[in-house]
Chain A
Amino acid sequence: MKYLDEYRDPVLARRLLAELHATATRPWTIMEVCGGQTHTIVRQGIDELLPAGIRMIHGPGCPVCVTPLEIIDKALAIAARPDVIFTSYGDMLRVPGTSGDLLGLKARGADVRVVYTPLDAVRIAHENPGRSVVFLAVGFETTAPANAMAVLHAAASGVDNFSVLVSHVLVPPAITALMDEPDTQVQAFLAAGHVCAVMGWTEYEPIALKYQVPIVVTGFEPLDLLEGILMAVRQLEDGRAEVENQYVRAVRRSGNAAAQDAVRTVFQVTDRTWRGIGPIPASGLALSAEFAGFDAEQRFSVGDVVTVESPLCIAGDILRGTRVPTDCAAYGRACTPRTPLGAPMVSSEGTCAAFHNAGRGLEM
């Protein structure tokens, strides 16, 4: 397919690898922030082909993985109500809450529906005026414009039986939090190309400057990742710390103005707790005052839920990049993609699932 196949060409991948081997003279540690990039890197074994000493750390950029347990438990409480049609992206259905997941709830008769886009949830609300339709609005800056448009569209067309359970997260504050950790090993970042397609990369410029850390906006295909890694290594070797753009075909410096406008109208920045990582100031989005009427948490007053994580799961260390899934005692045993104990085992963008799908550390 055009704009995919060309960026998977094995001959060009080999050239990029040769160039990387010729460029790297010292060991460097680079974090790819985005789970989609982790998926490609692990699946294609890119990290295993890099010059010795170039280490990739898999970052916290999987929305399925970092959505707080509290939100999953609230989703379960709301979805269990007989008057509710609960809608969600498919990959959230198997995220383990304190007791069970949305898929299990659906099997027991709850009306839980997978939608491809949040506009489908608005349509379901329009078609079912007697029911309350709730959409689980999670994700990074990539899904925020879609979720913003769903709220704007529901407001404009008077669909008032629609609401959203919001737990949006933002990438730059997470990068800052990682760099503020005293034992951080990250020396360069690959920034998520599609997050930057929406937001541009001006937010990253002060971060690169303050922490003297190269940040390369990178795409998702194997050649994109190899070129992004090469650009990061060149900066590290030269002692530069700039924001560079590998993903020129899709990302402009100022991003997508129309999408940013919608996000700013519907949402406001808020503190957010990341599953496995903990609270990060100003790292998420919540509904703005003007659209607070669409807040499912208020409509259904699911104030206090008591959450308990699996004691075996070391997801926090994995999301921070200090340990890998094969360090986890449950990995591949108690915890598999079919029986996930922690969120990183659920989505193919989660590091544990990416490792498991590639057969890493498993006796086959």
Chain B
Amino acid sequence: MCLGIPGRIVGLQDTEPRTGTVDFDGLRRPVCLAYTPEAGVGDYVIVHVGFAISLVDEEEAAKTLAVLRAMPDAIETELGS
């Protein structure tokens, strides 16, 4: 139950509580969006037991990856390339 996975909101339904359709790599499921009122179509959210608990910050995601990509590669360094 405890695994949270990211998915992209592809549709919104007019229901109470607020619900959207979220795409998980092709698999689409209804997800409660009551806790991410700011999330809209196209946004990535982290989903736990059918609830979006967090909006993925795309800028921060890119920054984290950029930091990791800027790290020297041990093997490249050793080979002097």
Contact = CB atoms under 8 A, between A and B. Distances in A.
A and B co-occur in one complex: yes
Interface of A: 1-4, 6-7, 11-12, 14-19, 21, 34-36, 61-64, 89-92, 116-120, 138-140, 142-143, 145-146, 149, 153, 156, 194, 197-198, 220, 223, 227, 248-251, 256, 258-259, 262, 349
A138 B49 CA distance: 12
A143 B71 contact: no
A291 B81 CA distance: 65
A149 B34 contact: yes
Given A62-B2, A258-B37, A349-B2, A197 B53 contact: yes
19 contacts: A1-B25, A3-B61, A7-B65, A12-B68, A17-B74, A18-B71, A119-B32, A140-B2, A142-B48, A142-B49, A149-B32, A194-B2, A197-B46, A198-B53, A227-B64, A248-B63, A249-B57, A250-B54, A256-B54
A165 to B, nearest CB: 15
A145 B51 contact: yes
For the complex of A and B, 5 pairs with smallest distance between CB atoms: A117-B50, A18-B74, A89-B1, A249-B61, A197-B54
Interface residues of B, number: 40
Nearest to B55: A250
A4 B53 contact: no
A15 B75 CA distance: 9
B69 A12 contact: yes
Given A2-B6, A11-B73, A15-B74, A143 B35 contact: no
Contacts, number: 140
A14 B75 contact: yes
A149 B17 contact: yes
Given A1-B24, A3-B44, A15-B73, A142 B32 contact: no
Listed residue (A90, A118, A227, A259) with the most chain B CB atoms within 10 angstroms of its CB: A259
B35 A256 contact: yes
A7 B61 CA distance: 10
A63 B16 CA distance: 29
A33 B24 CA distance: 26
Contacts of A256: 35-36, 53-54
Contacts of A4: 5-6
B48 A143 contact: yes
